[in-house]
Structure 1
Amino acid sequence: MTEARHFVLAAGGTGGHMIPAHALAEELSRRGHHVALITDERGARIPGLFDGVQTHILPAGRLAGGPLGWLRGGRAILEGRAMAGRLYEAFAPAAVVGFGGYPALPALLAALKVKVPTVVHEQNAVLGRVNRLLGGRVDAIATAYPDVRRLKPAWFGKTHLVGNPVRDSVLALRDLPYPALDHVGVFRLLVTGGSQGASVLSQVVPAALGMLPLNLRRRLQVVQQCRVEDIEQVRADYAALSIPAELATYIADMAGRLALAHLVISRAGASTIAELTAAGRPAILVPLPSATDDHQTYNAREMAKAGGARAIAQPRFTAVELAKQMQKLALEPGALENAARRAHACGRPYAASDLADLVESLA
């Protein structure tokens, strides 16, 4: 039996950082280890994650906004590093694992200062700013993709491809068949813009569905995540089209929705793609154009190249283009089932276990 150890996971900001950290926490806990989370206020507010895990909210400044912003950010980082250092004195972690983003920076800096082993996990196909900043100093870099941009050749020797951990509830879908679909049955569409929603999906998707042939449109059932400011307009749009639609600002039971979905329209966030490929669900991906270093475009490439998804750049994401792509998938016999198999083949179902193995080896 593995000796019980203490591990600190540092993540915050969005679900893209928090979900893989949550999956690792579950795996380490199953192995008998003790886990603590360092996060920021936004990360701590995401529901359904880290229940029962010791959680510490630390200051996490951003080095942006000119000289005054750098000064404020630097002070917050130093304050967070000092607080993390005091936590380590009491918790004595065997390793600290960072998941990118500025909320992870103070925790990793404190670990480096006291020579605790460190790992950073990169969810995206482009190495993020904090992981680039610390890549030369940490003990290991874990990646979700085989090809990661901005990863320096000097770091290849300590880089490990593990994939992007997903929640157990999503991973359980991997062994279930793609939901049955024929030319007259209900066609279930899931639309999600990640933890922050996406206004462009609210604008384009209902309009595109209204352009579909009547025999296809009558089969649709939609579950869609919307921003608060968009949800009533989207509700009215679907009502005018007589399309049954369940709308929410946050989808808590993502596993349950994925289990029923025949097609997903979404952004190309790292956790979204990891869940799509874990479950084996075909998708139309719309990368967020303002994402740092355009990382969502690179995230989408592996799944799109394999045939499990179609990627549409936002400037080309119009109602006409979406309706055309949906008809190709929905009306061509076997197209969705084939895309589902190809999406499934891109999944890395052992990501949480492989990352836990790496963390344990450094401890």
Structure 2
Amino acid sequence: MNFVLAAGGTGGHMVPAHALAAELKSRGHGVLLITDERGARFPGLFKDVPVHILPAGRIGGGPLGWLRTARAVMRGRGEAKRIYKEHTPDAVIGFGGYAAFPALLAASAMNIPTILHEQNAVAGRTNRLLAGDAAALATAYDQVERYRPSYKAKIVLVGNPVREIVSRLGELPYPPFDEIAPLKILVTGGSQGASIFADVVPEGLGKLQPWLRRRLQVVQQCRPDDIDAVRDRYARLGIPAELMTYIEDLPEKLGDAHLVIARAGASTVAELTAAGRPAILVPYPAATDDHQTANAREMTAAGGARTIQQSGFTPDVLARQIEAMAADPVALSNAASRALSVGRPHAARDLADLVERVGGGLAPIAIGPALTPRVTSDGPVEALPA
């Protein structure tokens, strides 16, 4: 079969789309990507997949901005229809973001079935707008807010696809950690880093009890504007730290880490739970609909993470939370197991199974041993046994 993947240009949309593309190609299917200029430039993804860049626009800017957006969307819709006449997709899979909007509109206009994958625990605007026409709604969490109860029959829990190299980490033992081993901490704020981590994390690690502080080994992602100041802080504190603006070998760094300090983006949480790594999560407060706080709930409730809202993320609070997690090596290992317990490392496989069903004209159903999500009367999704 032939499939078109439509994704916005952020890592949260592009990484799961890339993982699905790899799975579909391994099954012998044709795959084509529609995205925006940001997505086409995303490093390390879709190297062997044809890529089309469509105009999409962004909502905002008052009446004139809306008019420009409408024109861009209609132009992108027309271009997508021309692509479909040549590519003849069996289904179009959207991963959210404005860049996916015209591609999905074109598919609906041509009666091509669409599948929407929602990476977050709160459905995004593009997916909410297009959910009514979709043949299936694939979710990453067993509770997803903002979908209408009337959509419950076509919601399927599959998880959030991660790269195969990350999913394999969960099959390996947790890195050895005892009373004398180094405590390896990975700090990542997403593809652009996070200034709040540059301000808080070095000072927080410096406030750890001496017996723990002298065992630290830190890898931290920083914004280019912050990296020199962060390097000076770690040098002053005598804490060995490897700093970089972009972590190209993130799966390797994640595999080495005992504890991760990160935002609660959808891909970050999916990778942490697939790999089985305990974390301190600091949701980005400006995220639309506060979806990062919702993303963190499942992992935190399972005991695999501790969530600290940014307003309360101070060096003292961070130090106390790290001490609570790392004071007992057994407790830290248990937190890793709890993180792994809510991971869905086979999300790419299960999503591909769903895509094949819809592309083949079959109704969406629960895949494998996963839970079948159902929508409650007030909108969120709850999980029932499949």
Counterpart of 1:330 in structure 2 is 326
Q: Aligned to 2:55, which of 59, 66, 70?
A: 59
Q: What is the CA-CA distance between 1:183 and the residue it aligns to? A: 1.3
Counterpart of 2:69 in structure 1 is 73
Equivalent-residue separation in structure 1 for 2:220 and 2:99 (angstroms)? 29
Contact 1:12 1:44 in 2 (8 A): no
Equivalent-residue separation in structure 1 for 2:94 and 2:293 (angstroms)? 23
Counterpart of 2:169 in structure 1 is 173
Contact 1:170 1:254 in 2 (8 A): no
SS at match of 1:227: coil
Counterpart of 2:218 in structure 1 is 222
TM-score, length of structure 2 as denominator length? 0.92
Equivalent-residue separation in structure 2 for 1:283 and 1:95 (angstroms)? 37
SS at match of 2:161: coil
Counterpart of 1:122 in structure 2 is 118
- Partner amino acid, structure 2, of 1:142: A
Counterpart of 2:371 in structure 1 is none
Equivalent-residue separation in structure 2 for 1:358 and 1:143 (angstroms)? 12
SS at match of 1:136: helix
SS at match of 2:357: helix
Counterpart of 1:205 in structure 2 is 201
Aligned length: 359
Q: What is the CA-CA distance between 1:69 and the residue it aligns to? A: 1.1
Q: What is the CA-CA distance between 1:12 and the residue it aligns to? A: 2.0
Q: What is the CA-CA distance between 1:218 and the residue it aligns to? A: 1.4
Counterpart of 2:181 in structure 1 is 185
Q: What is the CA-CA distance between 1:139 and the residue it aligns to? A: 0.9
**1:1-363 → structure 2 map (5 Å cutoff):** 5-363=1-359
Q: What is the CA-CA distance between 1:76 and the residue it aligns to? A: 1.1
SS at match of 2:295: helix
Q: What is the CA-CA distance between 1:196 and the residue it aligns to? A: 2.0
Q: What is the CA-CA distance between 1:37 and the residue it aligns to? A: 0.5
Equivalent-residue separation in structure 2 for 1:131 and 1:105 (angstroms)? 9
Contact 1:119 1:142 in 2 (8 A): yes
Q: What is the CA-CA distance between 1:222 and the residue it aligns to? A: 0.8
Q: What is the CA-CA distance between 1:215 and the residue it aligns to? A: 2.0
* Gapped regions of structure 1 (runs ≥ 5): none
Equivalent-residue separation in structure 2 for 1:304 and 1:319 (angstroms)? 20
* Gapped regions of structure 2 (runs ≥ 5): 360-386
Equivalent-residue separation in structure 2 for 1:51 and 1:241 (angstroms)? 42
Contact 2:274 2:345 in 1 (8 A): yes
Counterpart of 2:370 in structure 1 is none
- Partner amino acid, structure 2, of 1:222: V
- Partner amino acid, structure 2, of 1:191: V
Q: What is the CA-CA distance between 1:352 and the residue it aligns to? A: 0.6
- Partner amino acid, structure 2, of 1:266: A
CA offsets, 1:207-237, max 9 Å, x none?
Answer: 1011112221111111111111111111111
- Partner amino acid, structure 1, of 2:338: R
TM-score, length of structure 1 as denominator length? 0.98
- Partner amino acid, structure 2, of 1:345: S
Contact 2:258 2:278 in 1 (8 A): yes
Contact 2:167 2:346 in 1 (8 A): no
- Aligned-pair identity in percent equals 64
Equivalent-residue separation in structure 2 for 1:140 and 1:39 (angstroms)? 21
Greater relative CO (CA pairs within 8 A, separation 6+)? 2
Runs ≥4 residues deviating over 2 A: none
